[in-house]
Structure 1
Amino acid sequence: MPYLAELIKSINFNEPFTPPSNWFQGRTVYGGLSSALALQSIIAEIESEQNLRLRSAQIAFIGVMAENLEFKSKLLKQSKSSRWYQVDGFSNGELGLSVTFLFTQDRASQIAHDFSPSQQVKSPEHYQRLQHPLAPASLANLDLRPAGGSMPVSGSYHPELIAWIKHLDDDGVNPYVSLLALADGLPPAAMTTFSEFAPISSMNWNLDILRPIEQSEWHLIRSYSLFAEHGYSYQQMQLWDQNGNLILQGTQTVAIYL
């Protein structure tokens, strides 16, 4: 069962490939992984540019990403301090994923403030790893430890999930690729209000990365559904490093079949 590090090393992006079954959620690859693979497909070009780092991404989960995956990229625009890339992912020749990445360099500025929220939780060793027979196969690649909010399919009134999370092995993986493969690791927050299991699917994911990514074994992740109606939920997402620094925030539209 290859974890992230082994999987990334095994992929040749010059030819179609099929991820192993332990990275699937139902009939499609886990969305965090497909997003991370889109980034990995262009990371060599970005790494060659000094001080250029991922700042934001707009990710559309258009269809199934399962077999014979291919990623095609193009540079949309380049300026002195930024680059926009579009990466499309295909499965058996059909479009399944479309991502727009923004990479920037830091610039001198007089403006600096930080009003980012924080979470008061204990350290990861105080919580137990989530293991459930109905959990998707992809969860086996992560150590996910609920640390607050509600549990999935608990009939909760409060649609919030908070957990410590880490890869079981991401050694040598670019930290931004590792982050994307981690940051969508929670179930959609609306699932906490379910009283029975039902299909649910992420449709898009918009994210901003606030700080340069440094090594952090554990991350604290939160997802909260702000509004749900007519078969769709709209959720906010945050991710902190082990030192309590907010490093990623995002939003997601989720389709609910219940």
Structure 2
Amino acid sequence: MVERVAQSGEQDAMTALSLTQLADGLVRNGDHWSLHGAAGWMQGRTMYGGASSYIAYVAATATFPDLPPLRAAQIGFIGPVGEDITARATILRAGKSVSHVETSLWCDDALVHRAIWLFGHARPANGSNPAAQLTDLTAPETAEAFLGAPATMTFLNRMDVRRATPRGGEGPPAIRRWVRLKDRAGLDPHAELIAIGDTLPPGSMRAMERPGPISSINWSLTLLGDTITTRDGWWLLETASNHMADGFSSETLRLWNTDGTEVMRGLQSVAIFG
């Protein structure tokens, strides 16, 4: 099994596109964008959610280049996203400080991904509440490497992943890993967080009684502040189940930089099969 995965990874590496190449591959055709052959980012029969959301974000900012910084997003994973995509972006409202942009991704004339992006200018502060700070960090440089990406998750070959907590053992239904994109060239910080923020499986996997497929249904995220920096591209990601029953799990997604400062938080609904 390890040998087959390695061979698959080597073949995938030969055809895979970097995220910057995906963005460069978007071609404008009137009121929409087209992307053909988004190789290397598949997760089973659909594209990894961070990559499809990244494409949607790029379509939004390419269509409306004068938008203020990203503040939040609400993303719906509607159907399987293939390697050939049509993307559309529409301004829902452009206010004095906040703009809402809707994006939709289509494959074979079917709507597969829809998102609402909230962009907003900074305003004079009226009070403050700093982002949460972690103090019990295992540095990514000393953390155990996570090896052997499953053959159905080829997108993991585009990333370095290391364990931020010991493997196995008892504990809450949560997963925490250090994650870094292998090729970050040309990415703006917001695009990088979108691309990497959905990397981990749901924390509910630790509570599953038997193996079975899972599928993200949506992703709601909020950026915590304007300063998005970290050391050597490493970000600490966590997925934690808040409630799991009836084939669904509510998950909280959190992302910290190497200083332990939280920079993004989200909620996600996950379908659990089997």
Task: Tell me the amino acid that sits aligned with residue 178 of structure 1.
Answer: E
Give the direction of change, closer, same or farther, for the CA distance of 1:116–1:5 in structure 2 (3 Å limit): same
Deviates more, 1:93-102 or 1:20-29: 20-29
1:12 equivalent in structure 2? 27
Query: SS state of the match for residue 125, structure 1?
Result: coil
* SS of residue paired to 1:185: coil
Find the partner of 2:204 among 187, 190, 200: 190
Change (3 A) 1:231 1:149: farther
Structure 2 counterpart of 1:3, from 7, 18, 38: 18
| 1:64 lines up with 2:88 in the alignment | no
The range that moved more, 192-201 or 103-112, is 192-201
Instruction: List, as ranges, runs of 4+ consecutive aligned residues in structure 1 with deviation greater than 6 Å.
Output: none
1:192-237 deviations in whole A, cap 9, x for unaligned? 2235431000000000001124343111111100110000000101
Matching residue's letter, 2:47: V
Look up the SS of the partner of 2:217 in the other structure: strand
Q: CA deviation at 1:113?
A: 1.5
Matched, 1:80 2:125: no
Counterparts of residues 1-258 of structure 1 (less than 5 Å): 1-14=16-29, 15-49=33-67, 52-114=68-130, 116-118=132-134, 120-134=136-150, 136-148=153-165, 158-194=172-208, 196-216=210-230, 217-258=233-274
- Equivalent residue number for residue 8 of structure 2: none
Query: SS of 1:22's equivalent?
Result: coil
The verdict on how the C-alpha distance between 1:150 and 1:85 changes in structure 2, with shifts beyond 3 A counting, is: farther
Choose 16-25 or 135-144, whichever is displaced more: 16-25
- Structure 2 distance, partners of 1:190, 1:13, is 40
Question: Which range is displaced more, 168-177 or 106-115?
Answer: 106-115
**Normalized against structure 2, the TM-score is what?**
0.85
For 1:233 and 1:91, locate their aligned partners in 2 and report how far apart those are by CA, in whole Å.
Answer: 27
Check whether the contact 2:25–2:36 (CA below 8 A) recurs between aligned residues: no
Question: Aligned residues, how many?
Answer: 253
Cα distance in 1 for residues equivalent to 2:19 and 2:110: 25
Rounded Cα–Cα distance in structure 1 between residues aligned with 2:37 and 2:223: 26
CA deviation after TM superposition for structure 1 residue 16, in Å: 3.0
3-state SS in 1 of match to 2:211? coil
Paired residue secondary structure (2:86): strand
Alignment partners' CA distance in 1, 2:256 and 2:149: 28
Q: Tell me, yes or no, if the aligned pair for 1:85 and 1:100 is still in contact at 8 Å.
A: yes
For residues 38 and 176 of structure 2, the distance between their equivalents in structure 1, rounded to whole angstroms, comes to: 28
Compared CA separation, residues 23 and 214, structure 1 to 2 (3 A): same
SS in 1 for 2:132: coil
Q: Deviations over 1:164-195 (max 9, x none)?
A: 11100011122211110001011111112235
Q: What is the TM-score when the length of structure 1 is the normalising length? A: 0.90
CA separation of 1:7 and 1:44: change in aligned 2, threshold 3 A: closer
Are residues 128 and 213 of structure 1, via their aligned partners in 2, closer, same or farther at CA, if it must alter by over 3 Å?
Answer: same
